[in-house]
Chain A
Amino acid sequence: MALIRQTSPHTRGAETTSRVMQLVMLAALPGLLVTTAMFGWGTFINLIWISLIAVGSEALVARLRKRPVAFYLRDYSALVTAVLLALALPPLAPWWLTLIGTAFAIIVAKHLYGGLGQNPFNPAMVGYVLLLISFPADMVNWLPAAGTPGYETLSFGQSLQAIFPFLGGNLDYDAITMATALDVVRENSSLTWSELQATNAALGGTFAGKGWEWVNIAYLAGGLFLLYRKVFTWHAPVGMLGALIVMSLVFKNGSGSDTHGTVLFHLLSGATMLGAFFIVTDPVSGATSNRGRLIFGAGVGILVYVIRAWGGYPDAVAFAVLLMNMAAPTIDYYTQPRTYGHKKPRKGLAKPEDR
């Protein structure tokens, strides 16, 4: 009789990596649709262009390393990075900008570390931060949301020409772009909150920034779907949103001219919901244990608020995520859960007698 040697895990989930990645892309769909409805075709065109670059870079690295190309492409992780980048970048980002960001994200942030499952930083956020630091002027070209008075949404052709200028057409960027609600609040030093809402079109939404509120609600819906399908646990998003709520309650600074904005404004502006449900939940670059994830998320929430309120950049989710990615291995050291059958968890460094 042959003894079958088996070690854990004895049961496996039905979900494969590619299935999980497909679910994430499906959950990002409402966000993509609302972004397209609010800010025009730019994001949609960018998504296709970025996906091409991402898949191309992934295939290039696999070829260079003499690995099976099809195997790498079949897990869809490059496409998820592409989707996140496309959703995070401004709709009219020119083709060369997205080319640099995406190639850097896939090749440097992901494949130099050995590819999926081994990258310490979230690739999409590395690409975004690189572009934000290198080309700040191109990265704030956000369009006014649909329905803003005196503004017409760009047609498909116009968006295409804006992204690929060699196709002809001369679009005057400065005439159509507009500061986002977060920018308006950060730059404001003279108007009270209600005056801002009354005078500035970007802040003329129902709860928060115009257009942005619906984009964020769409991400929230997609995120709740992923949570329901158990793609990730609740810890990281709750940590991030909870910390953001606490910070914006404590440091709101009244509703006068030096206000930092209401709680709802911070929850439904910029990339908050995209970050909370699609980025801090990254199983690779985040913390591993549940308690670690809670701390990881809370750290992101606190940093997002600190950089938004007092920092020099328009939105902070990408920076906050990278900074916490840096801290994730250390968090893991200190939040190792107790293993079944052992008395005490080993925390931090190994004790001398353990060696």
Chain B
Amino acid sequence: MADPITQLVLILVSTILVNNFVLVQFLGLCPFMGVSGKLETAMGMSLATTFVLTLASVCSYITFEYILQPLGLEFLKTLTFILVIAVVVQFTEMVVHKTSPILYKVLGVFLPLITSNCAVLGVALLNSNRMDSTLLDSALYGFGAAVGFSLVLVLFAAMRERIAAADVPLPFRGGAIAMVTAALMSLAFMGFTGLIKL
């Protein structure tokens, strides 16, 4: 076991690059393909997802550790996490709406969409499977996953804006070439394999 700081850095590098949720674990593909058409929307989605994912992974950790485990109800975790995530998203939307209208304008449309982002549930579930994780660990795990998601989403959106102007063969226009691009990006991310064993 490395010292705490190294451990935290390792968690971040692992979730952002080595085990990137989109390109390596293939979670959260729907928003990845869906909102990457324009760079601006991609940025908004990234911000909203980062916020919600971090919060949701902390909340699900607390629920799992202090409610489900003591009661021996671990088998209910999928159901519970879905509920927790939905509540967190709804709550976030309401708070943001009341406190910061500007932020709400930026994130507004994306907040409800995040409920259906499978990466959020994936992070919560994977987090509960990891042994001896602390609250800080799981918060960082969620944050790192979200940063990794945001990174590839923004890069992908910028690439798609460029591809939109390319002379792509007719059968491959639109979604098809986006899938091919995502596949090639995933190929590139394989280069990080073996960087960290966590």
Contact residues in A for B193 (Cβ distance below 8 Å): 311-313
Measured in the bound complex, the distance between the Cα atoms of B180 and A331 in whole Å is 22
Shortest distance from the beta carbon of B195 to any chain A beta carbon, whole Å = 5
Size range of the chain A interface in the assembly: 35 or more
CB < 8 Å neighbour of B190 from A65, A108, A114, A129: A129
Decide: A325 near B177, CB < 8 A? Known: A111-B169, A115-B167. no
B-side contacts of A162, CB under 8 Å: none
Q: Please, which residues of chain A bring their CB within 8 A of the CB of B158?
A: 329-330, 332-333
> Is A323's CB under 8 angstroms from B167's CB?
no
**Interface pick from B24-32, B116-124, B181-189:** B181-189
Contact A112 B159 (CB under 8 A): no
Contacts of A130 in B (CB 8 A): 187
| B135 contacts the other chain (CB 8 A) | no
Task: Tell me whether A310 is interfacial, beta carbon within 8 Å.
Answer: yes
| B156: A residues at CB distance < 8 A | 326
B191 touches A307 (CB 8 A): yes
Contact flag A326-B180 (CB < 8 Å), given A129-B191, A313-B193, A313-B194? no
Interface centre among B155, B181, B191 (most CB of A within 10 A): B191
**Would you give the shortest CB distance from A285 to chain B, in whole angstroms?**
10
Please determine whether B190 and A323 come into contact, CB atoms closer than 8 angstroms: no
Task: Report the minimal beta-carbon distance from B83 to chain A, rounded to whole angstroms.
Answer: 36
Question: How far is it, in angstroms, between the C-alpha of A283 and the C-alpha of B167 when the chains are bound?
Answer: 18
**Any chain A CB within 8 A of the CB of B40?**
yes
Give the distance to chain B from A132, nearest Cβ to Cβ, in Å.
Answer: 9
Residues of A contacting B195 with CB < 8 Å?
A: 306-307, 310-312
Distance between A292 CB and nearest chain B CB, rounded to angstroms:
12
Contact A112 B191 (CB under 8 A): no
A329 to chain B, nearest CB (A): 4
Interface positions, chain A 79-99, Cβ under 8 Å from B, are none
The binding surface of chain A is classed by DSSP as: helix
Asked whether, in the complex, the Cβ of B188 is within 8 Å of the Cβ of A120, the reply is no
B163 within 8 A of A: yes
B74 at interface by CB-CB < 8 Å: no
Contacts of B194 in A (CB 8 A): 311-313
Q: Is B172 an interface residue (CB 8 A)?
A: yes
A-chain residues with CB within 8 Å of residue B180 when the two chains form the complex: 108, 112
Q: Say yes or no: A326-B185 contact (C-beta < 8 A), given A113-B163, A120-B159.
A: yes
A39 interfacial contact with B, CB 8 Å: no
In the assembled complex, the Cα of A61 lies from the Cα of B45 at a distance in Å of 37
Known: A310-B195, A312-B194, A327-B155. A322 touches B187 (CB 8 A): yes
B residues 137-171 near A (Cβ < 8 Å) are 154-156, 158-159, 161-163, 166-169
Q: Which residues of A contact B192 (CB under 8 A)?
A: 307, 311, 319
* A332 contacts across to B, CB distance below 8 A: 158
Q: Is A140 an interface residue (CB 8 A)?
A: no
Q: Chain A residue with minimal CB distance to B161?
A: A329
Other A-B contacts than A113-B166, A133-B190, 17 sampled, CB-CB below 8 A, are: A108-B180, A111-B169, A112-B172, A113-B163, A114-B169, A118-B163, A126-B184, A129-B190, A133-B187, A306-B195, A311-B193, A316-B191, A319-B190, A322-B191, A323-B189, A326-B188, A330-B155
